[in-house]
Amino acid sequence: MLVEKQVPLQPYNSFGIAARAERLARIGHPSDLLGLMAQPEWGHSPHFVLGGGSNLVITRDVAGLVLKVEIPGRCLVEESGRGWLVEAGAGENWHDFVAWTLDQGWPGLENLALIPGTVGAAPVQNIGAYGVELQDRFHSLDAIDLDSGRAFTLDAAQCGFGYRDSVFKHAPSDHRGMGLAGRALITRVRFWLPRPWKPVLGYLDLERKMAETGILAPDARQIFDWVVAIRRVKLPDPALIGNAGSFFKNPTVTPEQCADIIARDPRVVHYPMPDGTVKLAAGWLIDACGWKGKTLGHAGVYEKQALVLVNRGDAEHPCTGGEVMTLARAIQTSVYERFGIRLEPEPVVL
Ligand code: EPU
């Protein structure tokens, strides 16, 4: 299999950060990986698994071998009166996969339309939007152990899903020794789409669409179209403006902490959670600190949604990962100083 050397990574990360991979191999089939693992140099150099690169900040050239996952394929595994079991290769584009399931007449993923990235990367951060998280539709995934070459399958419980979190984001020592960061390459993912289909419409932006259009019982295709329209208004298209989606997680606080913040600023956007904690809108906190539309170096805060950091560089003056992280730290400091809240970045920082 061909291993390319000194490969520019700019086209492979949605932030559009310029960096190079010392070596890069395209994994189109699990056997490509096993072939690489059989070579003597495998054990001597680090490796990094790259999906769609849409949740990634690259702060340096990447030493060792980048494994670019391009495994294709999508199929119906099983259909019954209870639902559809659908499978996709890890290299499939997430949005195209969602659109394809709807074209086939298998609803359930419509709220997750237009999320950038690949199918294989989706479980890593348990993508979520408009009231649905990947874990709500997840069945199982296949992966390969990067130490032993052994193939294995995980169900939802074994993936340890949390808010924008899974075992794939944790070092081997975390998660009671079950962390799989850097240790596994996801090859295929299966989704369970239950019948009868039930729309998820509780999110404020979707309720607004229902009120505006008067469509009170939308079908899955209608919800898909609404989600695409809402995202296009709020979020920058990575093909035009480099970004990695939401840059920080929405923090959760105790009701007492929330009351304290409300006392300081009654407008704070907050949502009570079923477990008694309160989720705060990080975008609102950042906005309240005056960051919306600001630029530091060649990194900036998107003018329509303060939770998204964007690339304001150009061909002559490219934005570096270091500039993105400098901006991120400045935002964290001002939110901490004003509200006493530590914002946690969402993307993987390399
Ligand atoms: N807000 C502001 N100013 C801003 C941004 C937001 O006041 O600059 C307020 C909004 O008015 C709203 C609240 O904050 O009242 C929440 O904003 P929004 O509904 O846009 O959602 P979000 O919390 O910013 C989360 C996810 C998104 C997901 C949307 C929809 C996280 C970190 N982000 O964003 O996910 O698409 O909800 O479900 O949970 C991603 O993870 O990359 C991502 C885009």
The residue ranges of every structural domain in the chain are: 4-69, 74-194, 243-349
When mean pLDDT is compared across 57-66, 154-163, 172-181, 233-242, the lowest value belongs to 172-181
CATH top-level class of 74-194: alpha beta
Query: What are the pocket residues of ligand 1 if the criterion is a CB atom closer than 6 Å to any ligand atom?
Result: 129-130, 234-235, 245-246, 249-250, 269, 281, 283-284, 287, 292, 305-307, 346
Atom of ligand 1 nearest to the CA of 205: 19
Task: Give the pair of three-digit tokens for residue 131.
Answer: 């009231």
pLDDT at 248 over 90: yes
Residue nearest to ligand 1 atom 2, measured at CA: 284
Give 82 Cα–ligand 1 centroid separation in angstroms: 33
Its CATH architecture, for the domain 243-349, is Alpha-Beta Complex (3.90)
The predicted model gives 308-323 an average pLDDT of 92
- Cα angle value 289/331/278 (rounded, 5°): 70
Strand partners, 26: 68
Atom of ligand 1 nearest to the CA of 302: 8
Quote the pLDDT of residue 176.
65
Task: Give the pair of three-digit tokens for residue 177.
Answer: 């020794």
Report the distance separating Cα 301 and Cα 15, nearest Å.
13
- Testing ligand 1's pocket by substitution, the residue of 111, 164, 246, 270 carrying the most ligand atoms inside 8 A of its CB is 246
Atom of ligand 1 nearest to the CA of 281: 14
Residue nearest to ligand 1 atom 25, measured at CA: 129
State which fold the 4-69 domain adopts.
Answer: 3.30.43
Quote the pLDDT of residue 93.
97
pLDDT at 324 over 90: yes
DSSP-assigned letters across all residues of 30-77: HHHHHHHHTSGGGGGS-EEEESS-TTEE--S-EEEEEEEE----EEEE
pTM: 0.94
Residue nearest to ligand 1 atom 24, measured at CA: 283
149-193 per-position pLDDT tens digit: 999 999 999 999 999 999 999 988 776 667 898 899 999 999 999
The predicted model gives 273-292 an average pLDDT of 95
**Residues acting as catalytic residues:** 164, 246, 346
Report the distance separating Cα 78 and Cα 201, nearest Å.
27
81-134 per-position pLDDT tens digit: 999 999 999 999 999 999 999 999 999 999 999 999 999 999 999 999 999 999
Give 23 Cα–ligand 1 centroid separation in angstroms: 36
Residue nearest to ligand 1 atom 34, measured at CA: 246
The predicted model gives 308-316 an average pLDDT of 92
Quote the pLDDT of residue 175.
61
Give 52 Cα–ligand 1 centroid separation in angstroms: 21
pLDDT at 336 over 90: yes
Quote the pLDDT of residue 29.
96
pLDDT at 11 over 90: yes
Task: Give the pair of three-digit tokens for residue 151.
Answer: 């193939």
Which class for 201: exposed (0-12), middle (13-18), buried (19 or more C-beta within 10 A)? middle
The predicted model gives 250-272 an average pLDDT of 93
